[in-house]
Structure 1
């Protein structure tokens, strides 16, 4: 990242638009390829497969129970790979051989899942991972079942107290197994917006190397408004790179608007926005299945023409043509707050500047017309 920033700075200072555009294009391509490999392990029946699905934003039936290490690609981000590993207690090899057998070096971190107290084998695995300088996290699954049972069995039910008792019980058990300061997260694979799923994501992002954080952020399911807002910020930060990369492409005049833009770049960016913000047809279908709300009802609440549909050249041109501000008012508004790259770019390439304005407008309209806030 440091080398990219230095090279970009030099290219812009020397008014070398071709070099700057090439750097931007290559950097965007590299960001798409940053690998993130997650290991999820636990005994059969622990809720491991449901958790794997939760990480991938899929319903539970899309992963089969397996006794062998199995790789699953994220449906929208193939650079993100999630491995479903059998628990030590369900395999034919010992804790000493486990990490060697599953080729632990390729994993960025391990998540150890249990639907009860964590057992001695879980602790042994955690100690082995720790000795090898890898990160690991404990996930106590099926919390929604525990809450339902407690509500049914107790006249005076307190959810916060129940969650604390479960968490403390897991922590005490792990400390007795000589795990120091264990990190335990209570989750429900079926209700990802509840309990500790958001806290788990925040810690994972914090502890990952910087160059892998965006891969996790864009791939994680939209479990909270905070996650969605962070995704919007990440997409907004990439607009300058997209616009600069467009300087290498062929500018296309938009009928009815006195600007030229790189339509290929714009379409790529809108598709990325759709995937990341959960607004593609596939994402909305998954949301419909998870919530029980029909696609018709979901689409009725969405105003943006870019949501839940296939992105085409005609669609993008139609949206841009309908916005007078792209060619006039918006340009005046944006000049006062241009980023450092585009501020240098303006006198160098008007078409790239127009692409920048178009991308800003499309993200802003897609966001506001879906979430109703800036």
Structure 2
């Protein structure tokens, strides 16, 4: 057995090259093309639009943001695509019980079957309509999650009291919500403006655990980097799938990639690292938003990364993440970062050198993302 074949089998955990190739093909299909449809519902003023915007890492006043307001702004199910992963869609649904969406016909009217799971938002107590909707969703054997929003506002109001204790306030809110739930599930306390606080991290962990396996990686890529733990999960995911991308990109086996021609398979390496770049929050939009939030210029830290620089040049002009058709020349900048590797790529893009390139890329992009979070004061230990 060739050394290269042994490396492929070891990385894939399979016993034959044929099985490794089949596993790689399935992994790449899921990585690139699996769709995810998330439904967000709740009564008027519960913070649906702000949650949709937070998930898409947009401010409420951004051009592509879902409209917010104190009156019902969502008159029909409205689809919002993720900015960097168009196969991920989050749907802002009208509140149940509103004039045009009566409770008894709600699920039919909002096209229930197209959603993978439901987020039921409330900024106060759970209503009778919320409970009824949850029971009906359970009957249809789909998942739902109760989310108590605007926790930051509640905390701010309670701080005026001399006896204020944040943990006690959170406990009281949680207990009040749980009283109405019985055995329907737990409630997650969040603020759409402070994703690193409260239960946002717990929510994503629960979603990932309960989604079908082929949907988990899609959600993880699209979910905002709200904590160091979330970033670590993303890093672990990209490391775990890199072998499959290396197998396809290196030409060890011909793996047709949906949306690309066989001639473009080598460029999958660039597409993969670009996905890392966006998932780790290193793109212009994410960094500018974070810079404004913490009032610290952060783009300069990204400029120190050779991989970020190479990806940025190509991502802006030739990559549309999720549906990329790029030429082999697109990886030239990345290959040039490693003396001696370029000739191997030119000779046939071997698995080992491709895997090395991707591993080093993940490592440097992750290091840059961690440094930026530390400089922003989000993580105390780097």
**TM-fit CA distance, 1:275:** 1.0
Runs of at least 5 residues in structure 2 that lack an aligned partner in the other structure: 1-8, 68-72, 253-264, 315-327, 372-380
Match of 1:157 among 142, 164, 187: 164
Alignment deviations for residues 139-192 of structure 1 (CA, whole Å, 9 cap, x no partner): 11111011111002x0121100000001111111x14xxx42531111100111
User: Is the Cα contact below 8 Å between 2:123 and 2:148 reproduced in 1?
Assistant: yes
**TM-fit CA distance, 1:292:** 4.3
Mapping 1:7-86, distance limit 5 Å: 9=14, 12=17, 20=21, 24=24, 27-61=27-61, 62-64=65-67, 65-86=73-94
Q: Residue 193 of structure 1 corresponds to which residue in structure 2?
A: 196
User: Is the Cα contact below 8 Å between 2:188 and 2:200 reproduced in 1?
Assistant: yes
User: Is the Cα contact below 8 Å between 1:304 and 1:370 reproduced in 2?
Assistant: no
Q: Residue 70 of structure 2 corresponds to which residue in structure 1?
A: none
Change (3 A) 1:52 1:369: closer
Alignment deviations for residues 310-344 of structure 1 (CA, whole Å, 9 cap, x no partner): 243999655654545868xxx9xxxxxxxxxxxxx
In structure 1, what is the Cα distance between the partners aligned to 2:123 and 2:174?
12
Q: State whether structure 2 residue 239 is matched by structure 1 residue 236.
A: yes
User: Is the Cα contact below 8 Å between 2:36 and 2:218 reproduced in 1?
Assistant: yes
In structure 2, what is the Cα distance between the partners aligned to 1:209 and 1:105?
16
**TM-fit CA distance, 1:193:** 0.6
Match of 1:103 among 105, 111, 115: 111
User: Is the Cα contact below 8 Å between 1:270 and 1:311 reproduced in 2?
Assistant: no
With the length of structure 2 as denominator, give the TM-score of the two structures: 0.77
**TM-fit CA distance, 1:131:** 1.4
Mapping 1:126-275, distance limit 5 Å: 126-152=134-160, 154-172=161-179, 174-175=180-181, 179-248=182-251, 264-275=267-278
In structure 1, what is the Cα distance between the partners aligned to 2:57 and 2:218?
15
User: Is the Cα contact below 8 Å between 1:39 and 1:84 reproduced in 2?
Assistant: yes
SS of alignment partner, residue 219 of structure 2? helix
**TM-fit CA distance, 1:212:** 0.7
SS of alignment partner, residue 117 of structure 1? coil
Runs of at least 5 residues in structure 1 that lack an aligned partner in the other structure: 250-261, 332-348
Q: Residue 293 of structure 1 corresponds to which residue in structure 2?
A: 295
**TM-fit CA distance, 1:110:** 0.9
**TM-fit CA distance, 1:237:** 1.3
In structure 2, what is the Cα distance between the partners aligned to 1:158 and 1:34?
44
**TM-fit CA distance, 1:305:** 3.1
Change (3 A) 1:369 1:129: closer
**TM-fit CA distance, 1:117:** 0.6
Change (3 A) 1:132 1:83: same
Q: Residue 305 of structure 1 corresponds to which residue in structure 2?
A: 306
Aligned length in residues: 327
Larger radius of gyration: 1
User: Is the Cα contact below 8 Å between 1:43 and 1:88 reproduced in 2?
Assistant: yes
